[in-house]
Amino acid sequence: MTEEMERDENVFLMGEEVAQYNGAYKVSEGMLAKFGPRRVFDTPISEAAFSGLGVGAATMGLRPIIEFMSWSFTLVCLDQIVNNAANVRYMSGGQYKVPIVFRGGNGIAHQLGATHSHRVETIYARIPGLIVVSPSTAYDAKGLLKSSIRCNDPVIFLESEKMLNETSEVPDDPEFLLPLGVANVEREGSEVTVVSYGRTMQRVTRAAVKSLVDEGVDVELIDLRTLRPLDTATLVQSIQKTGRCVIVDEDYGYCGMGQAIMASVYKRVFDYLDAPIAHVHSDEIPVPFNHYLEEAMMPSEERVIAAVKDVCYR
Amino acid sequence: MPLTTAYQGEIPYLQILDPDGNLDESLAKGTLSDADVKHLYEHMILNREYDDSAFRLQRSGRLGTFPQCKGHEAAALGAARAMRKGHDYLVPYYRENPASFYHGLPMHYILMFWGGDERGNAIPRNISMSPLTIAIGTQGLHGVGHAWAFKYRKEDRVVVAFFGDGATSTGDIHEAMNWGSVLKAPIVFSCINNAWAISVPQDKQTGAETFAQKAIAYGMPGIRVDGNDIFAVYKAHRDAIENARKGNGPTLVESVTYRIADHTTADDARRYRPAGELEAAQKLDPMIRTRKYLETRKLWNDELEKKTWEKAKATVADVIAQADKVSPPDSDDIFNHTFEELPPDLIRQRDLRHTHSIGLNPEEIGLKPQPEEAAH
């Protein structure tokens, strides 16, 4: 964010606690001191207000970055994101663009309870006009966030509170960008395609794939990076090659991201499949507050391994 | 310990031109010139004619629906005249056509829009206004955002955002006024109180006596004006705009008028309006008193009235012809403007529309195969 704000005077950051407090999760640490209160400022507890202000400022040529303390809180400002940010370009006959990044923690973090643990990807990914991004490493987060800030469409940027302390090698190059809408084939393999993204990728999928590879299963691992537009070309190509696929996410099953991904590719891979596509997802209950029960409802390494073995008939 | 007063506020009420066309000279000083009033009255006639024609177009099936503006003319035009044209920024909802036209929006755009062509909402770049808002109240926040952008870039532009009495019950308008006041955003909140939100009257909308008094709780000035009085509307907005331009933040102006027409062409207000209310309101029609005033000043007569209506009819006929001349969009165009760059899956959906296929065999239906299919 700092690099992009240095690069472009029109970029600014607002949200609850982002300035004085340096961010509820310290993401914006030092930014108020560096850029001053004109470009980094606190908002009232009014998600609709700062989303709406962002839309208004973006149509006037600014490029707001809006931090939500949690994506769960955006249920009160869906109108501004879904009805306004996503529709302005279309409903103004292409006259206005809305270059705006909405970012914050998505999904199940750590004992935040049922009201603060929503996974919002399908709420937004189904809306034409919105781009939805979900990084799974610090490297990806940097490249994708910078591309999102430079994007002329509204971007839903899904982070995880649990990943903010993750470290990985990150290029210093201020022009390091990763393209939106392109998935990353993290490991090439021939036997089964495993598809995942975001926190789940980091929490369970990579580890499960490692165990499977150690056992001799030749897994092709795909990190989606962007959920809309979905990189169906990469998925279809991979599944046509392997003939098997397991999708792993922490969303619910019914009407969830995994089902949407499955439906997007099914008719183009059906004739190549050696087994039905499997989907590992969270149990369909409100998220429990209790830590152990919270863990228990989410996909585990064991469940991923079992699903992969299932589709491989091992 | 006895109770003391924590806060006491009051809301002024402004009327300069009464329903009989009598002007309060001292309040009117430095407001609208004779030429202004004459020009604005001509605009009122033009808009009345536009409303009637649009109504007929809707009834003959050429517009999807249409919200007439009848009765709002002074409220919209007084505010529009108070703005610096091409500099200050107009945020309309959907009943302020007179203000939009005053600021230069080509009149056939509105007919295109309600006729189902989104290109009618692509405001030409040289017109300082946002597209019509259909969702109730969301534009208040966009207005604060526009104002914030002007402040951010140190431009001395001011936003005037319109909304109705019904919109004051939305969270968005509350949040817009609350935060707009905190930010000292250069914006004027112009509430056009036309007594009805479709079929819901003011006393079902709020427990407050006025909408203007809500300003007190947001820590900004509020004023209620006679919304059928072009002088009062102009003066209240001009003062509010200049105050905002100086960096003193927003004002809430409530213009009290009446929706003489139905909510839209899909409504029939006879079903819910109390008997006699419309007739009483018609006597307060802004056009009646503005004409009376002009006649007293010897600036208007029957002859001019007749000529202006004829001219308005000719103008509107031209506008309709202009809207008719716009070639209809191609059905593929419905995919335009969804994203800056149309993603592959949407390109596929667009192309598949020309077939009855579900896209299993793209080559068979003459579609360009996608790379992964070409490989096989």
For the structural domain made of A2-163, what CATH number should be given? 3.40.50.970
Q: Shortest CA distance to A277 belongs to which of A224, A250, A238?
A: A238
Q: Residue B180: left (phi > 0), alpha (psi -120 to 50), or beta?
A: alpha
Does the domain spanning A184-311 belong to CATH 3.40.50.920?
yes
Confidence (pLDDT) at B362: 54
Domain boundaries, chain B: 13-325, 333-375
User: Can you tell me the distance from the alpha carbon of A115 to that of A121, in angstroms, rounded to the nearest whole number?
Assistant: 16
Q: Is the per-residue pLDDT at B259 higher than 90? A: yes
The CATH topology of domain B13-325 is Rossmann fold (3.40.50)
User: CA dist B93 to A81, A191, B167, Å?
Assistant: 18, 57, 10
Q: Phi and psi at residue B123, in whole multiples of 5°?
A: -65, 130
Q: Shortest CA distance to B295 belongs to which of B305, B285, B310?
A: B305
Which member of A52, A54, A92 has the closest CB to residue B172?
A: A52
- The mean of the pLDDT values for chain A is 96
pLDDT tens figures, B320-333: 999 999 998 888 88
Domain boundaries, chain A: 2-163, 184-311
CB-CB neighbours of B274 under 10 Å:
8
Which member of A38, A80, A237 has the closest CB to residue B152?
A: A38
Q: Locate the chain A residue with the closest alpha carbon to B117.
A: A93
pLDDT tens figures, B40-89: 999 999 999 999 999 999 999 999 999 999 999 999 999 999 999 999 99
User: Can you tell me the distance from the alpha carbon of B279 to that of A221, in angstroms, rounded to the nearest whole number?
Assistant: 73
Q: Which residues of A belong to the active site?
A: 47, 116
The yes-or-no answer to whether A2-163 and A184-311 have a common fold is yes
Q: Is the per-residue pLDDT at B143 higher than 50? A: yes
Q: Residue A130: left (phi > 0), alpha (psi -120 to 50), or beta?
A: beta
Residues above pLDDT 70, as percent of chain A: 100
Confidence (pLDDT) at A177: 98
Flag whether residue A89 sits within 8 Å of chain B, measured between CB atoms: yes
pLDDT tens figures, A224-282: 999 999 999 999 999 999 999 999 999 999 999 999 999 999 989 999 999 999 999 99
Confidence (pLDDT) at A19: 95
Residues of chain B found within 8 Å of residue A53, distances taken between Cβ atoms: 141-142, 144-145, 148, 179
Average pLDDT over residues A83-100: 93
How many interchain CB pairs under 8 A, A with B? 153
Q: What residues of chain A, 229 to 248, have a C-beta less than 8 Å from chain B?
A: 229-230, 232-233, 236-237, 240
User: Can you tell me the distance from the alpha carbon of A292 to that of A190, in angstroms, rounded to the nearest whole number?
Assistant: 36
Residues of chain B found within 8 Å of residue A232, distances taken between Cβ atoms: 344-345
Confidence (pLDDT) at A35: 98
Contact A57 B340 (CB under 8 A): no
Q: Shortest CA distance to B89 belongs to which of B245, B246, B256?
A: B245
Confidence (pLDDT) at B376: 39
A41: closest CA of chain B, how far (Å): 11
Q: A219 or B353: whose pLDDT is higher? A: A219
Q: Is the dihedral of CA A48, A53, A56, A62 positive or negative?
A: negative
The residue with tokens 């964010």 is: A1
